[in-house]
Amino acid sequence: MTGTAERTHWEERYFQAEIETMRREELEALQLERLKATAQRCYQDIPFYRQAFDDAGVRPADLQSLDDLRRLPFTTKQDMRDAYPFELFAIPVNDGRVQRLHASSGTTGNATVVGYTQNDIDVWGDTFARAIAQVGGDEHSILQVSYGYGLFTGGLGAHEGGIRMNSTILPMSSGNTKRQVQMMHDFGVDILACTPSYALLIADTAIEMGYHPATEFKITGAICGAEPCSEGMRREIEEKLGVVLVDIYGLSEVMGPGVSCECQHQDGLHVAEDHFIIEILDPDTLEPVPDGEWGEVVFTTLSKECSPLIRYRTRDISRILPGVCRCGRTLRRMDRVTGRTDDMLIIRGVNVFPNQFQEVLASFPEVTSYYQIILTSDGPLDHVILKVETVPEFDFDEIRRIEDLQRRINAELKSNLQVSVEVKVVEPKSIERSEGKAKRVFDLRGDVR
């Protein structure tokens, strides 16, 4: 542990010093030991990996250092879809050890299915409990889980973290927002777990109901993930609810929320490296990039029993932040995800990620974090409409003010993103709210009129 570590009293109560401040060489020795065991289990128990290893000309015994991980084959979402439902399981689904199944929606093909043994669930709960501690929670906390419960991993992942922390859990799921607000107030909830867009909706609903949550509620922390959240949106939520908001990362294929999470310094997400190896690769060459450079996030699980994954290509774009965090954790930090390679918009030949619009809008105090991007075709060219809501105090009757705001936003977008956008400023509450993940992009370029 570093002598300059800055942690609050509540972090100390669930600070796993033997793991979270482990010396790098000790941590890498643990990772190599677990990687060897995972590779052997994959090769022995999963025919897909046996074939993939054989095709790559590598065997588990060839793993002599962490650098040898680069010799192993990748796994993609399509591989998981092709293996539907249980062909990537290392344990037969009906042998008594598989305690739970989760799956993606499968709206664009077969669902990706993952299984969990009790040990897998315990590890998941442990990593999410670290996030609860990092945002101020402990065994005395009341944790309101407003992620959706069900096949989506968000709700039950947060729930398992609350169990591990021994917190009191309020399993609200998503929806019925006024009731969410009422119970948050009446039950004295201090930690909220949900998507950032839903946290903002809860805050706005509370204010509409006549509350001042920043001063009247007991809530002090929010654990938000599952979608991008700009700094402007984060500060808006923090101000309205009176909380510290930390970003949590995870994906169902790898485990669920808890793969990495920010601490109170909000300076990168600490990866649970005792359970996962993170790589940042150039998405074109698939070669590693130096720390500090952006690339595609690739994860290898180290302790998953039922659904281990070797070098899973997440399609998420992030980077490794160099150095050690002020909190004293030696676990490496990944930056907040800027987008996904398969979510990237190509507008008139320019590559743009949706959350880049959000970052630009954050510099305009006249607008809120509610926006929509609508893509259409204007002959052979792309046409972009950005709808964004004004704050309630904006004078919508002043046409010149509206035109000036639209012009300034358009100029800033063109300067920052090199794309021309038709900005439409709309009145408050004109854009549909989401009680889960917000739908920001409507790509109508393939529609037939």
pLDDT of residue 124: 97
Dihedral sign for Cα atoms in the order 413, 388, 355, 267: positive
CATH fold of 345-443, please?
Answer: GMP Synthetase; Chain A, domain 3 (3.30.300)
In sequence order, the β-bridge partners of residue 270 are 261, 333
Could you report the per-residue pLDDT of 118-165, keeping only the tens digit for each? 999 999 999 999 999 999 899 999 999 999 999 989 999 999 999 999
Eight-class DSSP state of 68? G
- The answer for residues whose C-beta is within 8 angstroms of residue 120's C-beta and 6 or more apart is 99, 255, 303, 304, 305, 306, 307
CATH class of 1-342: alpha beta
Token digits of residue 71: 């010799």
pLDDT of residue 446: 65
pLDDT of residue 369: 87
pLDDT of residue 274: 96
Measured at the alpha carbon of residue 34, what is the angle toward residues 30 and 38, in degrees to the nearest 5? 165
pLDDT of residue 2: 39
Residues of the chain with pLDDT under 70: 1-17, 105-108, 342, 348-349, 379-380, 446-449
DSSP letter for each residue of 46-63? -HHHHHHHHHHT--GGG-
Checking DSSP bridges between strand 312-318 and strand 295-301, what pairing results, if any?
antiparallel
Q: What are phi and psi of 322, to 5 degrees?
A: -70, 160
Q: Indicate the SS3 state at residue 251.
A: strand
Token digits of residue 179: 């009731």
pLDDT of residue 351: 72
The span from the CA of 124 to the CA of 164, in Å, is 9
Token digits of residue 367: 């607008």
pLDDT of residue 227: 87
The span from the CA of 151 to the CA of 93, in Å, is 16
